[in-house]
Chain A
Amino acid sequence: MSEALLSLKSLGKTFVTKRTFLGRALATVRAVDGVDLEVARGETLGLVGESGCGKSTLGRMAIRLLDPTEGSVRYDGTDLTPLSGAALRPFRRRMQIVFQDPMSALNPRMTVREALGEPLRIHRLVTSASEEAAKVDALLDQVGLRKEHATRYPHEFSGGQRQRIVIARALSVGPELVVCDEPVAALDVSIQAQVVNLLRDLQDALGLAYLFVAHDLSVVRFMSQRVAVMYLGRVVEIAPSAELYEMPRHPYTKALLSAIPVPDPKQKRTRLVLAGEPPSPTNPPRGCAFHPRCPIAQKGLCDVERPELREIGAARVACHLAE
């Protein structure tokens, strides 16, 4: 994959949670710990994991909304890590993000026309008011809204329609990569399917690459060509979608998949109910971070030595015992 659009190398983020009076760090959390990932043009990479695993932090670092504390972010051949401010601006146009809650992502006092027109002006993508108006109308059409909607305010829309507005705003500046952070988690099932279809149609039409962050494994499977599973700040398994869902190799991936409730009572599955809860990232376990909950952990190995990602078939898995 020499042509990766986005390339993350040994990416890490440490948050300071407590400081001394003079500002020295007292307690820290390693939210993301040495992650390597690549996203190719036009590809969707799914990123799954439970609350606190670092998936959203990673998504934000990927487009430099957060500054990494270690490692690098390369975009289309340029190292973004040392850039800031004005030097980053041309890249901001090429990388966008869609958040979970459209109500807090939209300014309640801006009409849809203002919300969609603002990025066009900031990035000087239009030269006249009439050009801007035409562009906004075209964007609304592209996401399945009507021209009349342009003069309304966010509160006048349903949740699904609001998410369409947020998507239109992300697309307004013509990005190549869109980070989708739980884009359908707040929507009802029937509306969720509409928005998922919209995201796929837009990808086909515009050749977009997605970094698709979600906790819902079924939605991620539907959207992604490849999927990375995170646990406590690290990628524990990454594989092509079909491979990961048909033949999960990491014990955490297996447990995660078996925990999804499937709307089919006849599908009898042996459920792996994991004991315990994810440990706190302030004080991660030694060795493999998953070993205290792992059904196959071996004493003297898994609690001592941290497994690195290694290739097994088409997958890469961070487990001493996976095969």
Chain B
Amino acid sequence: MATPVLEIADLVVAFDTDQGELRAVDGIGFTLEKGRTLGIVGESGCGKSVTALAILGLLPEPQGRVLSGKVLLDGKDIARASESEMQKIRGRRIAMVFQEPMTALDPLQRVGDQIAEGLRHHFGLSRSAARDKAIELLGKVGIPAPAERIDSYPHELSGGMRQRVMIASAIACEPSVLLADEPTTALDVTIQAQILALIDDLRRELGTSVVLITHDLGVVADVADDVAVMYAGRIVERATKDQLFEKPLHPYTRGLLESVPGFGNNATRKRLPTIRGLVPDLLHLPAGCRFRDRCDRAIDRCAEVDPPLSTVDGHSVACIRAREEKAS
């Protein structure tokens, strides 16, 4: 197998808080191969967005930092790269699409200038060459009349159009990795379908690898090749999309899937299956398995063992009972 485009190994990200050090991401790892889409799924606070910020070296300073682990971009560790090195990487080799284009775009700058900025910085294009390229990019992401739209300000565009602008600026320098953090969460379903189709088309056309961070299992089922499920700072299950949805092995993955209305035939049921309780406080994690308190299958040993990821049936899963689950 060729070197993966991006490889994360044992990544630990910590934040200083009033009550001590909090590990928002606690030893995760995954690999991303060329042209593939990895979906990272999880609920608020599971560490999925922090992972993306850590990869880009954008953790809020001074509270947040990478404690240990590796971020290998084409085989080279960038976890502790200097700011000037990261500036050469961000936008050029790894680009990011955020959830809220209104806050990610500069409200005082015309959209064309925002797209051109990366081109001028990384490729040293002239003003007019960058402008021509920006018009071409706006057309590529499906913005009608790009030559006119290029002089618009973000507030003059709809939410869907703003997200297209952000994608245009992200792909401007043809990065090898695109990190998309909830790129469609703020959009309506018909616009969401357009944006997901756009990201997928661009991945195919440019051979970009995509990390798609989302809370929506439906979105993952739609566009991902591989899936990692995060819970309380850890990856609890990792598998190809088909394997994961066919037979989820971690009780959290299963609970998450079953609680989506419309999953299987639960739309006609009287009640939705739920996961009881709440996500644990990362400052006061239970001993053993972090999901234990909410798990229907927990046994005494789950309080003693912090389950590592192990391979069961092609999945990587962090549950000591996964093997029994496979048999059932």
Contact = CB atoms under 8 A, between A and B. Distances in A.
A, B: real partners: yes
Contacts of A197: 271-272, 274
Interface string B256-292: 1101111110110011111110110000000000000
Contacts of A256: 189-190
Given A190-B255, A190-B275, A261 B222 contact: yes
- Which of A188, A255, A261, A274: most chain B CB closer than 10 A? A261
Given A189-B217, A261-B196, 9 more contacts: A188-B279, A196-B261, A197-B274, A216-B261, A221-B261, A256-B189, A261-B192, A264-B221, A264-B245
Given A196-B261, A263-B257, A273 B194 contact: yes
A218 B261 CA distance: 5
Q: Is the interface of B mostly helix, strand, loop or mixed?
A: helix
Nearest to A201: B271
A158 B43 CA distance: 13
B73 to A, nearest CB: 29
A160 B278 contact: yes
Interface of B: 43-44, 158-161, 188-194, 196-197, 215-222, 241-242, 245-246, 255-257, 259-264, 266-267, 270-276, 278-279
Interface residues of A, number: 39
Contacts of B218: 260-263
A265 interface: yes
A277 B158 contact: yes
Given A215-B189, A264-B221, A266-B245, A190 B160 contact: no
B193 A273 contact: yes
Interface in A190-240: 190-194, 196-197, 200-201, 215-219, 221-222
Contact of A221 (B216, B242, B259, B262): B262
B274 A190 contact: yes
A263 B245 contact: yes
16 contacts: A51-B188, A158-B278, A190-B274, A193-B261, A193-B273, A201-B271, A217-B189, A221-B261, A222-B262, A260-B218, A262-B218, A262-B262, A265-B221, A266-B245, A274-B190, A274-B193
A259 interface: yes
Contacts of A216: 261
A200 B245 contact: no
A192 B266 CA distance: 14
